[in-house]
Amino acid sequence: MNKAFTREPDGALDDDDEDSAGLPPLPAGGKNYITPQGYQRLRTELLSLIDVERPKMVEVVHWAASNGDRSENGDYLYGKKRLREIDRRIRFLTKRLDIAEVADPSAHHGSDQVFFGATVTYANHKGEERTITIKGIDEADNLQGQVSWVAPIARALLKSRVGDEVRLQTPGGLETLEVLEVDYPVPGEQN
């Protein structure tokens, strides 16, 4: 089949297909919970893209276009590609920030029940302990012990209290976890 018939025109893909790759989708009708710090990080990235990166790239593309033949002009071709990536990321961030539901975990400081933003220490049946922090989809980082609130472990732990046992379905079978400690940031302090 001819390549011309298989290539999708620009804009044919969902605006955030590439940017949301690797992010779990929001539950149907669900909210995009995010901590105040996570919201601020996304907003800062968006403003940087709009005010700094995009204008620089537009300038590069304009300069490259003035150099003549665009079909073999690497600066022009790369610049146009990078502009599309920046625009796609801007659309993605704008959508995510528009539907963001900022939830301050410090509101639950002193509570022993697991809610969004909690740092939870739990133990499995072997006595192995693990500590995780429940964050928003757009801010969770597994390498730092942060899991999305839609992750199976977070879903299992939500609304439990210290001393509760919860069940978690894993690929290896059903696992029972005991909630050992629940902690929230102190009001007024940043994570």
* φ, ψ dihedrals at 103, nearest 5°: -125, 120
63-79: pLDDT as tens digits: 888 887 777 778 888 99
Does the domain made of 32-102 have the CATH classification 1.10.287.180? Answer: yes
Residue count of the chain: 191
Tokens 């539907």 belong to which residue? 99
Domains of the chain, residue spans = 32-102, 105-183
138-166: pLDDT as tens digits: 999 999 999 999 999 999 999 999 999 99
CATH architecture of 105-183: Roll (3.10)
78-98: pLDDT as tens digits: 999 999 999 999 999 999 999
Q: Which residues contact 167 (CB under 8 A, 6 or more apart)?
A: 156, 174, 175, 176, 177
Write down the pLDDT at residue 7.
Answer: 44
d(CA 108, CA 112): 9
Q: Is the pLDDT of residue 14 over 70?
A: no
Q: Is the pLDDT of residue 55 over 90?
A: yes
Query: pLDDT category, 11, cuts 50, 70, 90?
Result: very low
d(CA 174, CA 176): 7
> Which is more confidently placed, 5 or 183?
183
